Amino acid sequence: MSMFKPSLSGRTVLVVEDNEVSRIYFKVALEKAQADVIMAGDGREAVRLFQENEQIDLVLMDLNMPGLNGFEATKMIKALRPNVPVIAQSAYVMAGEELDSINAGCDEFLSKPVRLNDLFAMLERYLSQV
C-alpha cells in the first residue's frame, strides 16, 4: 500500500513533542512532504516559538509533557491565534483525554503511534483551508 503524502510546500508546522524519537519521526515525515518544520521540546518553548513565528499554519501538540503540558500550551496558543489548527497527539489515551483536548481548544486528536497516512490526511484537510 502506498503512503499518501500531500505537498505541504509553503506551509509551516510547529511540532511540540518532548520525546526525541517522536520529534525526529515527525520532522522527517513532514520535511518529506515539503513542510517547513519548527520544533519545540515542551509547552513553554512551543508558546514562545508560536509568538515569534507568525507564519505557523498548524500545531502538532503532544499532550503529556513535563512542565507546561499540551492542554495548557494549547489554551495559550488558541488565545493568541484562535484560527490556527492544533492537532493533539498522545501515547497515553486515558478515558476523557480526547474530550479534554477538544475542550482545551485542540481541533483534532491522534493517538500514538501515529500512522502517517492519518496524519497527512488530517494535515491536508486543515492546511487546504489556510
Structural Rg of the chain based on CA atoms: 13
Residue 3 lies in a domain: no
pLDDT reading at 92 higher than 90: no
Residue 104 lies in a domain: yes
Q: Could you report the per-residue pLDDT of 18-43, keeping only the tens digit for each?
A: 999 999 999 999 999 999 999 999 99
Number of domains in the chain: 1
Residue 2 lies in a domain: no
The whole-angstrom separation of Cα 86 and Cα 108 is 7
Residue 48 lies in a domain: yes
What percent of the chain has a predicted confidence (pLDDT) above 70? 91
Name the grid cell of 42: 515542551
| DSSP class of 65 | -
Range of the domain at 92: 12-127
**Which residues have C-beta within 8 Å of that of residue 121, sequence separation ≥ 6?**
4
Residue 7 lies in a domain: no
Residue 5 lies in a domain: no
Q: Which of 36-45, 86-95, 106-115 has the highest mean pLDDT?
A: 36-45
CATH number of residue 117's parent domain: 3.40.50.2300
Residue 39 lies in a domain: yes
CA atoms within 13 A of residue 79's CA, in its CB half-sphere: 8
